[in-house]
């Protein structure tokens, strides 16, 4: 499982992601590590949820090279001023 919460530069919005990768053991742990690296790589897109998730999905497909490997994710862009 992968989860991340990051406050954006404007100070009032938060990018939140919870994901579950397929598999168990070492292979699942490696895929979670890849998600973490992709989060860092795509940080400039955190304020654009659709673009961020699409970019992450494309990169994960290239990195894994496996059709049977995937992650299910929930991504939230929360504005703490508005709730």
Q: What gap in Å lies between CA 78 and CA 20, rounded to an integer?
A: 20
83: pLDDT strictly greater than 80: no
pLDDT at 80: 95
User: Which letter does DSSP use for residue 38 in this model?
Assistant: H
**Which comes out higher in pLDDT, residue 51 or 30?**
51
Angle made by CA atoms 54, 78, 44, in degrees to the nearest 5: 45
Q: Are 15 and 8 in contact (CB under 8 A)?
A: yes
Q: What pTM was estimated for this model as a whole?
A: 0.84
What is Dmax (Cα atoms) for the chain?
Answer: 41
């Amino acid at each position: 499982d992968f989860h991340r919460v990051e406050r954006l530069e404007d100070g009032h919005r938060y990018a939140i992601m919870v994901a579950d990768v397929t598999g168990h053991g070492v292979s699942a742990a490696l895929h979670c590590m890849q998600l973490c690296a992709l989060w860092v790589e795509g940080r400039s897109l955190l304020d654009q949820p659709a673009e961020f998730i699409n970019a992450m999905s494309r990169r994960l497909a290239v990195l894994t090279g496996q059709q049977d490997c995937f992650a299910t994710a929930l991504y939230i862009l929360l504005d703490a001023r508005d709730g």
